[in-house]
Structures are given as structure tokens and as C-alpha cells.
Homo-oligomer: A and B are copies of this chain.
């Protein structure tokens, strides 16, 4: 029952859109901070500076709101990914570029990580119901496949690399470090989020992936 904004009445329409965006941003922050179970609709309303009732008016309930937040989060990262133009770079640079992007995106959008964790805790049922999910079937995989293929043809990359697995590995090397930085820091007794540590991580990650891919 999403509002369908119809043309007439520009002013009002803009308000409706703005309200929805404000709610989405507030919800994203709240969900990111507390997870789906720990998030409070009251707090979302407060953060948004809007009446709680309005949240239900536009998003029906907490679950649907979470779904909307999730879809937006995906849309956002995909949009950025598309700007990378990896195919215009030489294979090694392209992979490096993708890793930097991934790393920096996660750093700049820590909420993305916690949102995904929440989504997975709930077995991604918020994506199942979402038509958008399918559409998100990231074209980055195809791009990456292209990069790998070219690297292999040019003799710089090994062959037989599954682009999905590689993509997951790149993401995983960054994601896990950041997602679990608190427990890891506690256990290893060193602050993994210190600037120096962060730089080292990106460097290590890149070494791992390029070390693996490179044909001596």
C-alpha cells in the first residue's frame, strides 16, 4: 500500500516525498545501530522529527519499513558500483579499484554492514518479498567476469576463477574485518579501526587477492 504520488499538487507532493526520505534515513540509522529487533519505532520518529503515525501511514509497519531501508541500501551501493567503469582499466588495476571501492564504501557506510547482518539474521525474508531484490542481481559480477577473462587472456591472471566466489571473497575480506572489528579488537587487544590499522588492512587484502590471481 505504498503511496503513489500523483502529479497534481507539487508542493504537497514534495513534502510527502521529503517525509518519506526523512523517515527512511532515520530508520536506516536506527536499524543500523540497534538491529531490527532492537530498533524502536518511537526513536525513528524522534530521529526523523516526524509523527510516529506517519511512519505507519507511509510504510505500514516496522518490517516493511526495514525492507524499504534495505532496498535503498542496496540500490545505493549498486549505483556507486556502476560508476566504477572497471572494464576501462587494465585487469590488475580494475581488481585493485574494486577492492578500494568496496573497502571505502563499507568504511563510509557502516550502516550497510549492520543492515545486512540484520537481514541475514532474519534469513533475508525481507529480500524474498522484494521484487527489487532480483533486479539488484549485481551486474558487477558480469563486469568482474570480463575483467578476469581479459586478465587470463593477457596472461596476467590465473584461469578458472569463479567471479561470484571472487566477489564474495573480496567483500568478505573487507566486511568481516569491519563487521567484527569490536570482538576482534577485544580479542587481539589492538584497535583494528585505528587509521594505521585500516590502511594496513586494505593493503593486506589487496595483496591476498592479487597474490592469488597473479600468474607469476
Q: Which residues of A contact B (CB under 8 A)?
A: 2, 8-9, 34-39, 74, 114, 116-121, 123-124, 127-128, 133-134, 136-138, 141, 158, 162, 164-166, 168-169, 171-173, 175-177, 179-190, 200-201, 204-205, 207-209, 211-213, 216
Contact = CB atoms under 8 A, between A and B. Distances in A.
Interface centre among A9, A36, A173, A216 (most CB of B within 10 A): A173
Given A120-B180, A172-B175, A172-B177, A186 B127 contact: yes
Given A187-B136, A205-B169, A180 B116 contact: yes
- Copies of the polypeptide in the assembly: 4
Nearest to A138: B187
A120 B179 contact: yes
B186 A128 contact: yes
A115 to B, nearest CB: 10
Contacts of A190: 164
Contacts of A9: 2
B172 A176 contact: yes
B172 A117 contact: no
Contacts of A172: 172-173, 175-177
Contacts of A123: 182
B162 A171 contact: no
Given A165-B201, A173-B172, A183 B119 contact: yes
A188 B163 CA distance: 11
A30 to B, nearest CB: 12
B165 A204 contact: yes
Contacts of A118: 35
Contacts of A124: 182-183, 185-186
A74 B173 CA distance: 21
A201 B165 CA distance: 7
Nearest to A208: B212
A162 B200 contact: yes
Contacts of A36: 35, 37-38
Contacts of A116: 180, 183
